[in-house]
Structures are given as structure tokens and as C-alpha cells.
Amino acid sequence: MKRLIILLAISCPISLTAQGSELCETVNFQNAVKNGTRSRDGKPGPKYRQNRADYNITVRLDTASKRIHGKESITYHNQCADPLTNIVLRLYQDRYKKGAVRDTEVRPGNIHEGMHLDTIIIDETGISLEGYRIMTNGTNLSIPLKHPLPPNRTLDVYCEWSYEIPMEPEFRRTGYYRDKAWFIGYFYPQIAVYDDMEYAPSMKGWDYLLFHTGLQEFYNDFNNYEVCIEVPEGFYVWATGNLTNEKQVYTSSILERLEKARTTDETVKIISKDDLPKDLLAGNKWKFKANGVPDFAFGTANHYLWDGSSVMVDNRRVFVDVAYHPDAEFYPRVIDIARKTVKYTSEEFPGIPYPYPSSTTFNGMWGGGMEFPMIANNCDEGDTIFMILMTFHEICHNYHPFMTGINEKRYHFMDEGLTQLATIHFLWDQYKLDFYANSKGSERANGIFKVYNHFCISTQDNCSLYNAYAQNDDNNVYYQYVVKPVVPLMLFAEMVGEEKFLYAYQEFVRRWEGKHPTPFDLFYTMNDVLGENFNWFWNAWYMDFGYPDMGIELEGNHIIVKRIGARALPLPVSLTIEYNDGTSSTISEPMDIWKNGARRITIEIENPDGLKSVSLDVINVPDIDHSNNYIGIN
Ligand SMILES: [Zn+2]
């Protein structure tokens, strides 16, 4: 029996400002639309272009002097419409230079003199770093070009460099880890991104102003890499890309086990504990090749265990492997999680075939995990649920920011939000685990709402579109990037239906694979594919400083559900009404009941005399103030 009738009422004028029908675009996005590089249907514009580079790198790890020595030849392709008058090189390791600006703690013993750039040659001309027009901004180095680089032409850059590897334990993504294990990322001079969205005075589209301070992760072009890595005898190397000289580095026993791992879903112990005293290597120069990837990194150790397996994806086998310390507590299980991850991401969520031929998880890092294309650098800490979460999350980053080249310095919430959303789905679907949980009776994993409730009333809360580089407080990063963005994505998927959401999301990835999408491209793609204007939702949840707060009141024979405060976000309504005769009923309204700017809705009570209580669901809907969500009649 239906006990209640909804009397929907819009009791407040429609606001077309903060939550109206036009998306609150930034001026640089409007200019990109004007220039034809982006569009309001969410597709790349007809004039969308991006640059790329071919890197040929030779790098040597000297474990005795604890230094990296490298040489590289770069061919940079200017595929944009603009002539380039300068080139910007990123020297990430200058983050450890004395006096550098940093947003994470660095132990004094890890401070060094920065990247030694011994040689830079541009188009056969040696460059002196003392040159008066050379400029540095943090870890970025801008070098003027003798002749502007016209569109559709290439530039040759050659560099030789070295730097000291950070050795002391701390939370960092690259360096020395326990007991002769090294993970080397952010190690080579890298050409910055020149795009249609950045604008630095005198630098045009270079992302020169955003330098590496520690927390921001990637914004890179899609490049081709050929990398030769020299390590001391007896060290194995795991890296981005395909190993092209495996017969020169492995003996036949390793090659046979590898071959087996590449053809089975079972786990193959490529190096077991029994193998550790044996010398199963035939060389120490490792050659890797990777095309169309946004970065390159490698891990190396001389005493690690190595598990390998593979999984069928889209009529091909993806090689999945894990390299770890023999004393690692959780790692013997990681190969199973990694294999499940590649299968799940390919077939379930996001349901897009894993984009690369391999996925390696390397046991380095302290206190967390860090993704690089095709290889993750992860700790061995916490508990089983954390290890499952971290293993999945870091592999899943191969979709964002690697398959779609999101600018994490600006829009970190995009890649972390989408990745963590997939992680929550995986934990729930495969293990019935809610990492953030606690919420009893929950029928889906939404413990994250509780964490959101807790943080969004603090000064750590910020508008999601607010530039990521400007939110460099180490404490709020996890909340702002990894927790907060998941909430609107979950609510949006619930409103439009999971299947439709997934379809639109997959279309976004198809449109922007190998390109640089902004949040506007994501939002406009969702509108376009779902055939509806959701700008009221994107504006409220991403462009504003809103918070979730609804409350209820009784007015005569009516229940009033209100959004409390001018910035209260649109939320789904879920009411439970109890009667004195022991019966109860629930009433649910989707979030778009607020889409025209309504501030309150009115619901008629059919049997007011018998009313016992009314309550708003605060478990499955985020809400910062629970005191106004329950009315009991005495
Ligand atoms: Zn992440």
C-alpha cells in the first residue's frame, strides 16, 4: 500500500548561477573551443594536436657510488600549429637540491646537489647553462632555441647527466629501498608538455610554471622509448615496456619459466627461494622498448623472488608479474591480486581491455604505492585489505593517467577519482570488502561517504577543480584527490544507472585515449553520450565549494526536505517513515529532483495522526549534520 504522496514543490526561484544549465568553464577552455582544439560535445576539436618525442636513453646504475649516469638522444616532434621559440626540460631530481621548493618531507641525508647536466646539445649546438636567456623554475629548465622550431618539424636534443640517488628511508617514489633494491623513476631529462590549455607568460603553451615539488605525479606526452639499463652483475631489471634482448640477459632456465608464465593462468615461480644463491643471469645490459607511453621507470634487485603469470584479455595474453623481497609478508599473494586486477579492469570496471602487454608490481616504496606505466612501486605494509586495494589501484592507473594523459598537476582529482572508484568496485565485487567501511547493513561499498562527511567540514576541503598544484598540503592530498572525487562519481552513476554511466565513461576513454583530456571534456562527454544536460550537477559538485547537508521538518501534514545553506549540494533523498501501528514505508527521490535549483521539497503524509518518526538515510547518502535528519513524535 502506498502510504505517502509526493507533492513536489519548487519553493525557491531557480538559480542559474552556481548550479545552472551552463557549465562553469575556465577561460582557457573557452579559448580552446574558439580555436577548435576542444568542443562542447566532449570530443577533441578538429584542430586538436599534441607533440611527442622519441627517447633513446642509456643509463647506468652505480650501486657503489649510489649514482645514476645517463645519456639520451631525443627527437622532439612539434605537431602543434605554433612555432616554438624555446624548449622546456624537466629535471625532476632537482627536487632534492638544497633549497628546492618541496611539499613533502625529505630527510637531510637525501638532499644533494641536484641533477648534474654535463652536456646539452640542441640541433648540434652545445648549450651553456650559464647562457643569459636560460631560465629555471623549480625543476624546469627553459632553453631558448637559436631558430624557432616550425610546426611539423623535429628538434634533436642530446643530454648527459648524473645524480645522487636518495638513500635514506622516507615516503618517496624513487630511490634506494631496503636491502639492495632500487626503484628508479623521474630519472631522465624529460621534455615538458606544450598544449592548448597552458599559458605561461613568455612561455605560451609550455607547462613551465608547474614544476615538481613531490606530490604531483604526471603530465606527459605520449612518447617512444628505447632504454638500455646497465646494472651491476647479478641484478635483475623490471621496467616499462618489452625487454628486447632477453636472450642476452637470461639463462635458459629463466627463459623456459618465463615462456611458461606467458601461456598460463597459473603462477610460475620464475625465481624461487631455492634459486637465490644461483646465478641465472647471462648479462647486465638490459634493453627495453615501449611505444606511445607517457613515461619510463625501472626496478632492480639482486636477491628478489619473482612470480609470473598471464591472463587472457581481448584475445591476447597480458603478462603479469611480481618481484619482491624474500621476507615480504604479503607479497606471495600479490600475483593473484594482480592477475585478477588485469582481468577485472579489462572486463568489468572500467571494462576496457588493459592497454599494455605487461603489468609488473615491484616491492620497493615505504608507506604506499606509486604507479608508472606498466610497473608499480609498492610497499609491503598494512594488512591484507590494504594490499589488495593498493595492488589494484596502482595497476588501474594504467588507464588514468597513462591511457588518457590527464594533467595531474591541474586535475589530480580526475585520475585518482576514477581509479579509486574502480578500486572500490573491485574490492566489493571480488572480495565483498569496503575499505572505508563500517556502515552496517550497507548493500554496496559506500564507507567512503563517512570519510567524506568527516573531512568536508574541515579546511582540507576544497573545490575539486581548484588547481591540484596549489593544494600541496601533504595531509589533505589523500582526502582531496582520492576520497572526495569518488563521492560524486558514485552518486552520478546511481542517478543515471551503473550501466549507462559505464558506457559513457568508456566512450570518454575511447575519445581521449593517447590525448590530454580536461575535466570539461569528461563532463561534456557524459552530457553528450547520456543525451542530457547535467551541468547543474558538475557545477555543484566540481566547480563550487559545496557540502552535503539536508534536513527535515514537519509542517502540518507535510514533511519538508531542505537543502541547508546556500552551498548545500544536490543529493538523493531517501526517507523512512514509521507509524505507531508498526508499519513503515520508504520513499526515494533521485538527485535530479534538485536540478532546477529547488531548495526544498514537500511530501504529504497520508496518515499524520499515526506518525511515529521520520528519518533521512545518512548511511547511503553523505550528510555533514545528522542532527536535523530525524524527527520522532512522542
Ligand atoms: Zn592513485
One domain for residues 613 and 514: no
582 CA to centre of ligand 1 in angstroms: 48
What are the φ and ψ backbone dihedral angles of 348, each rounded to 5 degrees? Answer: -110, -70
One domain for residues 516 and 625: no
474 lies in some domain = yes
One domain for residues 423 and 513: yes
* Total domains, the chain: 2
356 CA to centre of ligand 1 in angstroms: 18
Q: Which long-range contacts (CB under 8 A, 24 or more apart) does 625-630 make?
A: 625/549, 625/551, 625/564, 628/551, 628/552, 628/553, 628/564, 629/550, 629/551, 629/552, 630/552
Please give the pLDDT value at position 477: 79
25, 193 Cβ separation under 8 angstroms: no
575 lies in some domain = yes
Q: At what angle do helices 408-431 and 384-396 cross, to 10 degrees?
A: 130
What gap in Å lies between CA 541 and CA 464, rounded to an integer?
Answer: 8
367 CA to centre of ligand 1 in angstroms: 13
What gap in Å lies between CA 309 and CA 268, rounded to an integer?
Answer: 6
394 CA to centre of ligand 1 in angstroms: 6
366 lies in some domain = no
One domain for residues 568 and 456: no
499 CA to centre of ligand 1 in angstroms: 24
572 lies in some domain = yes
300 lies in some domain = no
624 lies in some domain = yes
105 CA to centre of ligand 1 in angstroms: 19
Q: At what angle do helices 486-496 and 498-512 cross, to 10 degrees?
A: 120
264 CA to centre of ligand 1 in angstroms: 29
334 CA to centre of ligand 1 in angstroms: 18
Pull the grid cell for residue 554. Answer: 514537519
179 CA to centre of ligand 1 in angstroms: 26
> What's the distance, CA 295 to chain centroid?
14
Q: Is 497 left (phi over 0), alpha (psi -120 to 50) or beta?
A: left
Please give the pLDDT value at position 9: 36
Query: Which amino acid is located at 190 in the chain?
Result: Q
296, 57 Cβ separation under 8 angstroms: yes
One domain for residues 558 and 501: no
Q: What is the pLDDT of residues 325-358, one digit of tens each?
A: 999 999 999 999 999 999 999 999 999 999 999 9
- Domain ends where: 526, 542, 558? 542
- Domain ends where: 494, 523, 542? 542
What are the φ and ψ backbone dihedral angles of 538, each rounded to 5 degrees? Answer: -60, -40
482 CA to centre of ligand 1 in angstroms: 7
358, 320 Cβ separation under 8 angstroms: yes
Please give the pLDDT value at position 8: 39
The number of residues making up the chain comes to 634
235 CA to centre of ligand 1 in angstroms: 29
One domain for residues 479 and 502: yes
476 CA to centre of ligand 1 in angstroms: 14
One domain for residues 572 and 495: no
One domain for residues 440 and 519: yes
359 CA to centre of ligand 1 in angstroms: 16
397 CA to centre of ligand 1 in angstroms: 7
Pull the grid cell for residue 192. Answer: 615538458
177 lies in some domain = no
DSSP string computed for 509-544: HHHHTTS---HHHHHHHHHHHHTS--HHHHIIIIIS
Enclosing H/E stretch for 371: strand 369-372
One domain for residues 560 and 622: yes
One domain for residues 500 and 581: no
563 lies in some domain = yes
Low-confidence ranges of the chain (pLDDT < 70): 1-20, 438-442, 472-475
24 CA to centre of ligand 1 in angstroms: 27
User: Of 524, 477, 514, 564, whose CA–CA distance to 222 is shortest?
Assistant: 514
479 CA to centre of ligand 1 in angstroms: 12
* Whole-Å CA distances, 344 to 310, 421, 429, 513, 592: 13, 13, 10, 19, 31
One domain for residues 423 and 536: yes
Helix, strand or coil, per DSSP, at residue 548: coil
One domain for residues 538 and 563: no
What gap in Å lies between CA 555 and CA 603, rounded to an integer?
Answer: 10
491 CA to centre of ligand 1 in angstroms: 21
Domain around 483? 419-542
- Domain ends where: 542, 570, 603? 542
Per-residue H/E/C for 49-74: CCCEEEEEEEEEEECCCCEEEEEEEE
